Structure 1
Amino acid sequence: MTVILRDRIDPPFITAPPRDINEIRARVTPQLQAEFAEAGLTYGAPVFMRIFKEERVLEFWVQNGHQFELFKTYGICNYSGALGPKLREGDWQSPEGFYFVPPGAMNPNSSYHLSFNLGFPNRFDHDAGRTGSFLMVHGDCVSVGCYAMTDAQIEEIYVIAEAAHTNGQPFFRVHAFPFRMTDDRLMKEQGTMWYAFWQNLKQGYDAFENTRNPPDVTVEDGRYVFG
């Protein structure tokens, strides 16, 4: 049985009816294939995304050989809350952490013009007692805890990710950070309540920076552990 993930619709936002995913694919795919070819990348290859709240960007990476290459950087149209993780249902805080998106988390019928579910709470969030549901990356540029893109952006992001799934990628990773986790930027947060949590996130950030491969992520003793 296929489970369709649907966004929670919260007033005062009024959303447009869902668009036809077949029409979107037919319209968007040829241009994306041309951009991939120009970049020397294979359309349908495995993908990986990084989100940075402070910079308001979503990076879209594509595997090329044994490493991932940056395909495009999208400006985030909207997100909710401040720097720091989501703690509880209804806090309108966009999550931070390491998430996995399988094909079943993709929603072409989203009221917010395409979406995929990040999978919050993951095991780390669950173990920490964090609650929430329907935390998405979607279109429509409105957010009640999600990362919202423009409709044109989410069409590209969704169609490329869908192609990777169709071509055999069992899930793609999304790493959501408060900011670009350089040593200098993190040092400015010493003494803040999330400093230890962000130090742990930085380990995953550094693992990708050093190898250009998203690390395997597990949870042990209330911390993320990176393979």
Structure 2
Amino acid sequence: MRVLVVDDEKRFAEGLRIGLEAEGFAVDLAHDGVDGLWRARETAYDVIVLDVMLPGLNGYRVCAALRAEANWTPILMLTAKEGEWDEVEGLDTGADDYLTKPFSYAVLLARLRALLRRDPHERPAALTAGDLRLDPAGREVTRAGTRVELTARETALLEFLLRRRGETVSKREILAHVWDDDFEGDPNIVEVYVGHLRNKLDRPFGRAAIETVRGHGYRLAADGGPPGGERARARR
């Protein structure tokens, strides 16, 4: 899922980026409130990690501006300030959760996962399509009860497809959510990773869950691609 981290402590923000990318997130950084607000307006993020003490615009004002524009992207506010009234102000301006520095990285990840489940789109704890199942927290993937080992990037791609199961998603959307705007490689990398998923999750089980919609992108069958029938032939 795609995350925007807005924090003026550059080393701290970079550390978050590295950690979150290792968990399969695509991460963009902003180091002041003005840039953070602009990015949040221009890009469809799945969750925003927003520091309170920012140059330009503080986190409260960024959050309030987004909510006033009916932007309901889940927001986790970070602050070095302690006190119940700071927390009250953050939540009252529209933040979904609040975390005081220093914090446990494991707790941050758990809270981000909880926020993703509360998003206006369906965010169950485990993602399923037929007998295809992904537990994002444990990064465990199973097909027909059999565990399948995926890399972090393969897992991120599968998660995005599962969250949009039954919908056609473009290559551009996949690059934006599974990689990020700074990706400068060959966009055909999407086809390569779709091929990896088909080789691990479809062909060994006689399925064809990941369909190519020519000229548009890819679609993961909502039923997970049941065995037998026409869809048992992988569509290339």
Q: Which TM-score bucket, shorter chain as reference?
A: under 0.3
Task: Please state which structure has a larger fraction of its residues in helix.
Answer: 2
**Structure with greater contact order relative to length (CA < 8 Å, sep ≥ 6):** 1
**TM-score normalized by the length of structure 2:** 0.24
Structure showing greater radius of gyration is: 2
**TM-score normalized by the length of structure 1:** 0.24
